[in-house]
Chain A
Amino acid sequence: MQVVADEKQVGELVAALADKVREAMAASSEPWAIVGVRSRGDVIAQRLAETLKPRYTGSVDIALYRDDLSEIGPQPTVRITEIDFPMDEVNVLLVDDVVMTGRSTRAALQVLMDFGRPRCIRFAVLVDRGGRELPIAPDFVGLTMTPEADQTVEVHVRPTDDADEIVVFERQPSRSTQPTEADA
């Protein structure tokens, strides 16, 4: 396992990401909502919200919206989706930790649309590692990486994990029953 960014560098990447988003948020007079994808995108979203102070915050769980539910064996754990604001007519900043295939992003977009009709959705991600299988492109990226196809990139954040870091490791040959976020 190789550490690409430590706690300090993760903090800098989040701060830089916040700066990129701030400009876009200021350009719209409509209220913003910052919504993270569980279970690590929501932590990044929370940190962005602390500095950007949007009108609303929330989190989405995509377990029920995955396109591979029948293929992955035991059902993934369903967590709570928290959207406590009217989705209609707000600008949404969707936040995730890593984007790879784009499939979890597609699922998250569908969750958001099931709550209403936002004015627009922008997508911010801490790490874009490439490997897209769907036409999904983040609007704001903290770090762009080009790892090998058999490598997994993970963002670890407190309190979900024990430390703040970005790591790269060789993927296990056998597919686990609970795929990592990057697989989704």
Chain B
Amino acid sequence: MSAPAKVKDGPEYAWPHPHVIGLETLSADDIRHILRTARGFADVSTRSVKKVPALRGKVVVNLFFEPSTRTKSSFYLAASRLSADVLDFSSGSSSLSKGETVVDTAKNIEAMGVDVIVVRHKESGVPKMLAEAVDCAVVNAGDGAHEHPTQGLLDLYTIAQRTGRTDTFDLSGLTVAIVGDIQHSRVARSNIYGLQKLGAKVLLVGPPTLLPGTFESFGCEVHHTFDPVLERVDVVNMLRVQFERITSQAFPSVREYASVYGLTTQRMKRMKKDVVVMHPGPINRGLEIESAVADGPNSAILQQVTNGLAVRMAVLYLVHGAKHAE
């Protein structure tokens, strides 16, 4: 038995947020509290009974206006493991994509007596709008190119786990590169906010068309080639090239993108031996990441998926409590 962990966020800290819309609006203390809570949930999936009764009798709604398999499944399973009932309301139809209607839809669902709405939408700002319109707790599962907070949180958790920092969740001294289509990526934005708040240095790497210079205002180093930063980074987060969001010709060819920005075994040889390789999935094998790297010992990709469950359980648990305390 290890010595009991010192409680750094004792009774004086109480989680205050009934909604999680983005990591931009959370403090470092808030983020660390979620990650510590997630640490307590991590073992639930290894038990004989993979359920805890924390949200027994509560209702969580998945309100997805954009196709999603893994995030939706992860939220579904997270809510189930907290013993909540889960209602799945998904629609890809364009008639539901207008602002007014989204609120109406949410209010209708809320009227059925739900406690937490998990929302994904292709437009930035929809989760915030819903949070202001409804009485129940709202969790952002990704809005446009704005934020994907639970993905950011699970990335932070995975980095802390791989670098042995789950006692403090302090990422000071780490250099993290986010590579690829930064412009269209909500994952990148949530990662930038979260990483900087926990003390890490963030490098952004991508072609100028997908990484405009305006990102320097985030306080990140901006690089348009990958090779010069390889030796420096402790963690590399390879973003998916989102063909569905790229409208103009952002780069000359897939082959050229792969040769300049792809994470290949050749590039791996130049990186730190214990560099952590991450990817939010789904991966385009051979484009942003080579199969041998994605499946290699440095890859934390499946660990990210596992941690996603614990992090989402923590978020659902915390927002529900804060909502109830209001």
Contact = CB atoms under 8 A, between A and B. Distances in A.
B interface majority secondary structure: loop
B3 A159 contact: yes
Contacts of B14: 73-74, 177-178
Interface string A79-98: 11111000100000000000
B49 A69 contact: no
A43 B1 CA distance: 10
A124 interface: no
A77 B5 CA distance: 12
Contacts of A110: 53
A42 B49 contact: no
Contacts of A3: none
Q: How large is the interface on B (under 10, 10 to 19, 20 to 34, 35 or more residues)?
A: 35 or more
B90 interface: no
A61 interface: yes
A64 interface: yes
Interface of A: 36, 38-39, 42-43, 45-46, 49, 57-59, 61, 63-65, 69-70, 73-75, 77-83, 87, 110, 113-116, 159-160, 176-178
3 tightest Cβ-Cβ pairs between the two chains A and B? A75-B321, A78-B40, A74-B14
Interface in B21-78: 36-37, 39-43, 47-49, 51-54
B4 interface: yes
Given A69-B321, A74-B322, A81-B40, A39 B4 contact: yes
B215 interface: no
A74 B321 contact: yes
16 contacts: A42-B4, A46-B3, A59-B1, A64-B52, A64-B317, A73-B324, A74-B325, A77-B9, A78-B317, A79-B7, A80-B39, A80-B40, A80-B42, A114-B51, A116-B48, A160-B4
Which of A36, A45, A57, A70 has the most CB atoms of chain B within a 10 A radius of its CB?
A70
Contact of B4 (A38, A64, A78): A38
A82 B3 CA distance: 11
B251 interface: no
A6 to B, nearest CB: 22
Given A38-B4, A59-B1, A160-B4, A75 B318 contact: yes
Contacts of B218: none
Nearest to B324: A70
